[in-house]
Structures are given as C-alpha cells and as structure tokens.
C-alpha cells in the first residue's frame, strides 16, 4: 500500500478533495492518506499557510495530491505552488490535454502533452525597483534546468509512442535566454532521430493551436510560456476543470488540479472534481496502479457520455455529489 500526503486547499479545494478520495476508495486504490488543511484560510487561523506536519508528511511519503490554493493577486504571499515547486525541486510540470469525445468541444483531435520547465524563468520572482516609475524582473534560464526538461519531453515521446516534439520559445527577441533554451533543444533532438523535432515562436504557437491543434503532439518550453500554453490547450478540450497536471522532481512528485480555488462557488455543492481526479489517475499510473486508473477513466467517460450528471461548468445541472455517485456506480459495474 502507498501512503500519500493530501493537501485540501482553499475554496472548492476541500469539496473536490473529498470527492476524489471517495472515488479512489470506491475504485479500491491501494492507498492510505495523511490529510492536511492548507492555504489562506489556514493562515488566517494559525499563521501558517502549510503546517509543518504537512511538509514533514510530504517529505516522508514523497507523493502529494494537492487541491487549489488561493493566491492574492499583486500583494501578499507568493504562490504556494511556486514555493512547493522550488522547495522540492519539482522541475517538470506535465499537463496532458486530450479531447473527450463524449463532451461537446470545439475540437475533436486534441491530444497534446505540455512539458513546462518548473523552477526558473520569470517565476524565480526576482524583481528590483529602480525608481518610482521603473521595475525590473529577472528572467533566468540555465543549461541544467533546460537540459533536464527537454530530455524528459523526448523520453516521454519515445516511451509513449509519440511522434513529434515542439520547442516553444521567443528566441527571435530574447536571444540570450530563450536562445540558450532553443539551442539546447536542437542539440538534444539529434539524440532522438525517431522523434520529429521542430520549434515555434510562442505567439505563432498560440495562433496555430486555435487553428489546427491536431498538428501538435508533445510541447516543451520555459516556465512562463508553459503556464500560458497549457491553459490554452485546456480551453481546447473544455476548460481547466478537465486538465490534469503533475509536478515531478528526482525525488518528489505533486499531483494537482491547476484551476483556481473558485471561492465564488465554494460550499455550493456544484464544483467539478474532474481535473483533480484525472491528476490522481496520473499518480496511480506512476505508482503502478494503472488498472485502477483505467477503471476510473472508463467510469468517468461513461458518465460524460450519459450527459445526465454533468456539473454546471460542463453545461449540466448535477451537484458534485450526484456526479461522484454516478462515477462510483459505473466503477461498481
């Protein structure tokens, strides 16, 4: 049995966490849980965003399932997601976006996996006030970080029968930073002759994605572009509520829903737990419980196909509980 750490988060976080754990138990996942409340709400009560016991649990178990955490915009503490990624060197953010044929989306041929470098670029958060009217942010790109994320993308392509790897950059303008990332990509691509390799400027990538997403397979890119492009790919499949994500390092792994904490619908019983559920399925795959993950994905597809138990974000009228019970019912069948 695998013991994992669970962070419930803010807003709808506790609701979707409980929903996902309920489904995992119904599917007989071989897991036990160490569960912690974290985030802004906890800080207001205790002065800690993440209790020390939560950090200790993750450091012991190495696996974290995390719900959304509220981050104030433009003030207050830095994103706890960024904090966790840096503290545990979770250098690879992997976000697969795949069209579900049972849902009514703009495109039917999306199957893209985005590999986002997760520890540097503008997300180092290093800023300097020059004067009252001028602020500088530092963009950091290193050979070490670029090499490991690019190699991870090509290895994924080889191991999962993918055909193409695309580097996204802005090296036409940022000739030193993005230029380094692109040159490393071109060097590493030569080591994988079976994988087609190409590169695109980030703005062109956005245009191409909304015109013909079927041309793309595996993406790899620096941190900021990865954040933007992966959100865009989620829009092609129906939204962030359907996009799973994992953050991996050499020792630790964190699986999370990348959508926000949605405080406007918290405690209303209508939140969609799909993104966190699919992230949990990625976790099960990595833990050698792929059969359990497959049974959950099949059940989810069957519920989507029925259309009867879709939550409001999917243009349905079901509650979170009705959605969860429908999935559990399919699993039992």
Active site residue 203: yes
Q: Which of 8, 66, 170, 248 is catalytic?
A: 170
Residue 174 token pair: 């940022």
Choose which CATH entry (3.40.50.1100, 3.40.718.10, 3.40.50.970, 3.40.640.10) describes domain 1-93+243-333: 3.40.718.10
Active site residue 123: yes
Q: Which of 111, 231, 286, 301 is catalytic?
A: 231
- Report the predicted TM-score, pTM, of the whole model to 2 decimal places: 0.93
Q: Which of 121, 178, 227, 313 is catalytic?
A: 227
Q: Is the dihedral of CA 155, 161, 164, 168 positive or negative?
A: negative
Active site residue 88: no
Active site residue 170: yes
What does the domain layout of the chain look like in residue ranges? Answer: 1-93+243-333, 106-237
Nearest to 70 by CA among 36, 90, 42: 42
Residue with tokens 């520890």: 119
Q: Which of 88, 123, 156, 255 is catalytic?
A: 123
Distance of alpha carbon 35 from the chain centroid: 20
Choose which CATH entry (3.40.50.10860, 3.40.190.10, 3.40.50.1000, 3.40.718.10) describes domain 106-237: 3.40.718.10
Q: What does each C-alpha distance from 228 to 19, 168, 169 come to in angstroms?
A: 28, 11, 12
Mean pLDDT per 10-residue segment, the chain (333 residues): 94 96 97 93 84 95 94 58 89 96 86 97 93 97 98 98 98 97 98 98 97 97 97 94 96 94 91 97 97 97 94 93 97 90
Give the pLDDT confidence score for residue 180 in this predicted structure. Answer: 98
Instruction: Round to whole Å and give the CA distance between 34 and 30.
Output: 14
Q: What's the N-to-C CA distance of the chain in angstroms?
A: 24
């Amino acid at each position: 049995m695998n013991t994992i750490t669970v962070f419930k988060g803010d807003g709808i976080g506790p609701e979707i966490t409980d929903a996902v754990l309920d489904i995992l138990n119904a599917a007989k996942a071989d897991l036990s849980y160490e569960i912690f409340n974290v985030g802004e709400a906890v800080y207001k009560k205790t002065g800690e965003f993440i209790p020390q016991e939560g950090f200790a649990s993750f450091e012991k178990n190495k696996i974290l399932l995390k719900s959304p955490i509220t981050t104030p915009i433009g003030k207050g503490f830095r994103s706890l997601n960024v904090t966790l990624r840096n503290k545990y060197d979770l250098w690879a953010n992997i976000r697969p976006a795949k069209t579900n044929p049972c849902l009514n989306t703009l495109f039917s041929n999306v199957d893209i996996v985005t590999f986002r470098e997760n520890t540097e670029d503008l997300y180092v958060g290093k800023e300097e006030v020059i004067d009252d009217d001028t602020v500088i942010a530092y963009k950091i790109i290193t050979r070490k970080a670029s090499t490991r994320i690019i190699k991870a993308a090509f290895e994924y392509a080889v191991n999962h029968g993918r055909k193409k790897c695309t580097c996204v950059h802005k090296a036409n303008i940022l000739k030193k930073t993005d230029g380094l990332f692109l040159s490393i990509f071109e060097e590493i691509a030569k080591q994988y002759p079976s994988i087609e390799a190409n590169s695109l400027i980030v703005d062109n990538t956005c245009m191409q994605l909304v015109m013909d997403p079927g041309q793309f397979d595996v993406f790899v890119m620096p941190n900021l572009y990865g954040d933007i492009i992966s959100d865009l790919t989620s829009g092609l499949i129906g939204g962030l509520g359907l996009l799973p994500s994992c953050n991996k390092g050499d020792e630790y792994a964190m699986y999370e829903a990348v959508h926000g904490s949605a405080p406007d619908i918290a405690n209303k019983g209508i939140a969609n737990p799909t993104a966190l559920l699919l992230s949990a399925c990625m976790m099960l795959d990595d833990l050698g419980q792929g059969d359990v993950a497959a049974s959950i994905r099949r059940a989810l597809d069957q519920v989507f196909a029925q259309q009867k138990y879709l939550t409001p974000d999917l243009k349905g009228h079901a509650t979170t509980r009705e959605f969860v019970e429908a999935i559990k019912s399919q699993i039992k069948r």
